[in-house]
A = this chain, B = another copy of it.
Amino acid sequence: MQTLHVELGDRRYPIFIGSDLNPQSLLEPYIHGKQVMIVTNTTVKPLYLDHYISAIERLGKTVATCILPDGEKYKNIEHLNLIFDALLAAGFNRDATVLALGGGVIGDMAGFASACFQRGVYFIQVPTTLLSQVDSSVGGKTGINHPLGKNMIGAFQQPQVVLADMAQLNTLPDRELSAGLAEVIKYALLGDLDFLTWLEANMDGLVGRDATLLAEAVYRSCAHKARIVANDEKEQGERALLNLGHTFGHAIESYLGYGVWLHGEAIATGMVMAADLSQRMGWISLVDVERTKKIIQRAHLPVKCPAIPLDEFLGFMAHDKKVLNGQLRLVLMKSLGQAVISKEFDLELMKQAILTNQEKA
């Protein structure tokens, strides 16, 4: 087992990364009150819920559960309210802990609920998908979607501890494993050319679910994110680099409707568009773009999105949170493995980058 600490002063917390982790001993120091609400979904429930209930009850805690339907389309205010209902029906107080057992949607919703319930209770994350292990484990971003935009409502809420268990990835569908690899690739593209080379050497093993390779990929991704977040918790600057591919990706997700494409799939194509625009700006080479596409394809991820009318695509981009004072900022690549935040891009070139990486209508 490897341990990574996210350095956030008095909110410093550990991420435990390994296989077949023991939740009872690992969680014990991090549950401060007597009440634990496990939030999970209907897919994860039959696989892992009983294991965690037993472990936490053996610690002498009161456990209650809130089972949500599975899917991004339920990441809304109505389903958030079900968590509040469950917390209040159980009579839970300010010293309660909300434990997220599931993927990114569960982590976002349970985390946001824990930030708001009684103006803030404790939060623990047990991410059960590769994407949530590398993305949601670090950073404290929680929230829900709104019909007019993704993640528009939320809070920064840091967990007490994160358990990332590679054994749980064995039950993950192939498509979701690939979606997680999209975020892994993102860390390489935005700031670590060595990691990109490592991924090129090991992508087949990762797709084949080699637990040692997966743990290494999770560790390196989380370490990257932890370093960036420790420097910039509230996303005033450097942290925005983590949104490589996301402004394009969010537009794809919004147009298709949440949940049609997985987040990681949309981000994958979004990264191709970002690379393409970076090349058109003269910052990276065509070879770099091809290398970007190749590693994405080897992770079984899409490099083109369905045909989307350009005005609608741009409309969704304008709703992105990275718009500041009406000015769109994009995360692009100054060189391969080195992302920058830029509002200096050419709008016409951006349109070409979008259109080129779509299926023909």
Q: A11: which B residues are within 8 A, CB to CB?
A: none
Closest to A144 in B: B116
On whether the beta carbons of A324 and B34 are closer than 8 Å, the reply is: no
On whether the beta carbons of B324 and A93 are closer than 8 Å, the reply is: yes
Which residues in window 210-268 of A have CB below 8 A to B?
A: 234
User: A63-92: contact bitstring with B at CB < 8 Å (1 yes, 0 no)?
Assistant: 000000000000001000100110011010
Q: How far is the CA of A84 from the CA of B323 in the complex (A)?
A: 17
On whether the beta carbons of A153 and B84 are closer than 8 Å, the reply is: yes
Question: A307 within 8 Å of B by Cβ?
Answer: no
On whether the beta carbons of B146 and A91 are closer than 8 Å, the reply is: no
Question: A321 within 8 Å of B by Cβ?
Answer: yes
Q: A152: which B residues are within 8 A, CB to CB?
A: 84, 88, 117-118
Q: How far is the CA of A326 from the CA of B93 in the complex (A)?
A: 8
Q: A148: which B residues are within 8 A, CB to CB?
A: 85, 88-89
Question: A319 within 8 Å of B by Cβ?
Answer: yes
By the criterion of a CB under 8 Å from any partner CB, how many residues of chain A are at the interface? 37
Interface centre among A118, A155, A321 (most CB of B within 10 A): A118
Question: A156 within 8 Å of B by Cβ?
Answer: yes
Question: A154 within 8 Å of B by Cβ?
Answer: yes
On whether the beta carbons of A34 and B146 are closer than 8 Å, the reply is: no
How many Å from the CB of A69 to the closest CB on chain B?
A: 19
On whether the beta carbons of A116 and B153 are closer than 8 Å, the reply is: yes
Q: How far is the CA of A279 from the CA of B85 in the complex (A)?
A: 38
Q: How far is the CA of A84 from the CA of B154 in the complex (A)?
A: 11
Specify which of B77, B93, B119, B149 is in contact with A155 (CB 8 Å cutoff). B119
Contact A88 to B146, CB < 8 A, known contacts A152-B118, A153-B116, A153-B117: yes
Specify which of B93, B119, B156, B324 is in contact with A94 (CB 8 Å cutoff). B324
Question: A141 within 8 Å of B by Cβ?
Answer: yes
Q: How far is the CA of A349 from the CA of B115 in the complex (A)?
A: 36
Closest to A62 in B: B326
Q: How far is the CA of A89 from the CA of B155 in the complex (A)?
A: 21
On whether the beta carbons of A95 and B146 are closer than 8 Å, the reply is: no
User: A2-34: contact bitstring with B at CB < 8 Å (1 yes, 0 no)?
Assistant: 000000000000000000000000000000011
How many Å from the CB of A62 to the closest CB on chain B?
A: 9
How many Å from the CB of A141 to the closest CB on chain B?
A: 7
Binding site for B on A (CB under 8 A): 33-34, 77, 81, 84-85, 88-89, 91, 93-95, 115-120, 141, 143, 146, 148-149, 151-156, 234, 318-319, 321, 323-326
Q: Which 10 A-B pairs have the closest CB atoms?
A: A88-B148, A119-B154, A93-B323, A116-B153, A118-B321, A77-B81, A95-B325, A84-B153, A94-B321, A95-B324
